[in-house]
Amino acid sequence: MVLCSKLQVPLPKQGIIIRKTGKHQYVYKVTKTYRNKNKQPTNTRTTIGKLDPKTNMLIPNNNYWQHYNNYTPTTTNPTTTTQTPNNNQEKETTPAYQSIHSIGATCLIKKLYDNLNITNILTTTFGEKRANDILTTATYMTTQGNIFEHILNWSQTHLIHQTPLTSPAASQLFNSITPQEQLTFFQAWIKQQPKPPKYLAYDVTSFSSYSTNIAEVEWGYNRDKEKLPQINIGCYLDQKTGLPLFYVTYPGSIVDKSHLPYMMAYNKTLNVNTDTCHVMDRGFCSEANIVHMHTSGLSYIVGVEMGHKKVHAALQDVQVAIVSMRNRVRDDVYARLVCSCFYGEVKSNLHVYFDSDLAVRQRGELYRRVESFEERLCQFEQLTRREAKRFRRYFKVDLALDGSFSYERDYEKIDAFDRDCGFFGLLTNTSISSEEVLSVYRRRDVLEKGFDDLKNYLDMKRLRIHSSNALEGKLFCAFVSLIVVCELSNKLSDFMKAKSLSKMGLVLELEKIKVVTMSDGTHLINPLTKTQRTILEICGLTETDLKNYLTNK
């Protein structure tokens, strides 16, 4: 990638190869020479720029500066010619190259934090120095991930306008962040939202750890199917803005259902509007939680287990006549409302849905599962009582005392499972329509995507921390990073889908935007590609913003 066609350097005297491709001659640095398996001499090389035919000098790209940063670059004036032995013209030389920094990603992330008012909230809560350090770590995590071993090198090669951080300094920062400071941030962050959240998505994820020094890391249900202890994190997300608002950690042995009342207890401290509706998956649905939400005056939309006795009875009541145009809420989705006491003595509205596409998928999965069970049964000569009980889900198994057995498909049970394919239920104490309940519930997947970003894109699947204090601080910085990652998704999801571009691909595209700083303080930014310009424009930035960012305006 060419930084600037006017920025030119002398051709290296040795170790290069020049190849013509189309109209241009490209210059390659030979990095290694060797003989291949046929004993023929060959080499590996990397392009360092292209040759200017007028001046016979090199127009360098990024790779050049990594190999030849001791050269003094020159610029050429297109209206003059290069000096020759027979004329008195002189080449115009520029000051020596001083540094090269990546600017695109850090500029965009800073502007997003400023626009979201995160920068001001952090400064008010933590003071300017620590706020800048938190933003540095959050920006690093957004672009590089969770391993802080390389943060100093990153700080020195990216334009961040803050003091470069070392890995030990980052650890000190994590240890310095107190629970009260975090709560103050959350209160200010929720308060400054354009409108009080109407729907809050609530969900829980877990992070695995090898550490034995963190009290909250305990054995429990591991969502990543890893044989490791974990810590749980519950999070609120505003479904309208798609941005995370608050999180809390708790020991990994505590199940989601048990922690719900403790999460709801934060609402008063956070000044969450009493009209806000909490949207949760079926993992939180229990009699104790439904009663708690009801007695606390909290609104909810929660998924239910269709196998629950009272829920399944309601399903059977509406199952036959549900597919009717009068019950259609969207393409191939139908709904019926049943009002009753499903959990305890609390009266709720159960919206029963039938999704034709879901029915086809679930029916296919059911038949494949039955066939898979049958293939496994054919391989056994004997069964234990426990194994026989499992297979009796779909088969009639006649088990003898010596373990031998015979079996046949139990079509009555299989047909019962078949009839329930495509049905699901949502329970609520609100009076909104079945169509809106479904729309609200399906938007909660934004939080699941956020958790996926937190674990995989930000690489927090492993905590890589060994003390409780540092853990809380690091999770807080990861949360600040998650805010901007979600904002990037909100603004650029359609563009990324159209371009088949991942979040990492998006960041790498922005990382290509470089600035060369000369010893006299002048800056040279490489021309932007169409993709880079589009990304910036969608986020409300222009090339002028990049130039202003250079001078920290």
**Strand ranges, E, within 410-526:** 423-428, 514-518, 523-525
Tokens matching residue 369: 């599962």
Longest CA pairwise span in the chain (Å) = 109
Give the chain's count of helices (H) and strands (E): 20, 20
Residue 462's pLDDT is 62
φ and ψ of 386, to 5 deg: -65, -45
Strand, helix or coil at 269? helix
- 3-class SS letters over 132-146: HHHHHHHHHHHHHCC
- Give the pLDDT confidence of 478-533 residue by residue, as tens digits: 999 999 999 999 999 999 999 998 888 999 999 988 888 776 667 778 788 899 99
Smallest CA-to-CA distance from 209 within 200, 201, 218 is with 218
CB 529 within 8 A of CB 9: no
Smallest CA-to-CA distance from 426 within 346, 311, 291 is with 311
Residue 82's pLDDT is 36
> Which neighbouring-strand residues pair with 408?
396
Number of Cβ within 10 Å of residue 276's Cβ equals 17
Give burial (CB, 10 Å; 0-12/13-18/19+) of 546: buried
- Give the pLDDT confidence of 224-256 residue by residue, as tens digits: 777 888 888 899 999 989 999 999 998 888 888
Residue 424's pLDDT is 96
Residue 37's pLDDT is 77
DSSP 479: H
Contacts of 175 (CB under 8 A, 6+ apart): 467, 469, 470, 473
Strands 523-525 vs 333-343: parallel, antiparallel or unpaired: unpaired
Give burial (CB, 10 Å; 0-12/13-18/19+) of 474: buried
Number of Cβ within 10 Å of residue 415's Cβ equals 9
- Give the pLDDT confidence of 418-460 residue by residue, as tens digits: 999 999 999 999 999 999 999 999 988 887 887 777 776 666 6
Contacts of 204 (CB under 8 A, 6+ apart): 232, 233, 234, 235, 256, 259, 283
Residue 463's pLDDT is 66
Residue 88's pLDDT is 40
CA–CA dist 513, 518 (Å, integer): 17
**What end-to-end distance do the CA atoms of the chain give, in Å?**
27
Strands 277-280 vs 299-303: parallel, antiparallel or unpaired: parallel
Residue 4's pLDDT is 53
Tokens matching residue 111: 């502007």
CA–CA dist 221, 259 (Å, integer): 14
Residue 76's pLDDT is 39
Residue 220's pLDDT is 79
Smallest CA-to-CA distance from 64 within 43, 91, 45 is with 45
Give burial (CB, 10 Å; 0-12/13-18/19+) of 149: exposed
Residue 90's pLDDT is 38
pLDDT lower than 50: segments of the chain: 1-3, 70-95
What is the reported pTM? 0.77
CB 516 within 8 A of CB 7: yes
Give burial (CB, 10 Å; 0-12/13-18/19+) of 220: middle
Contacts of 497 (CB under 8 A, 6+ apart): none
φ and ψ of 314, to 5 deg: -65, -40
Q: How far is CA 380 from CA 391, 409, 411, 414, in A?
A: 12, 16, 21, 22
- Give the pLDDT confidence of 459-482 residue by residue, as tens digits: 666 666 667 778 889 999 999 999
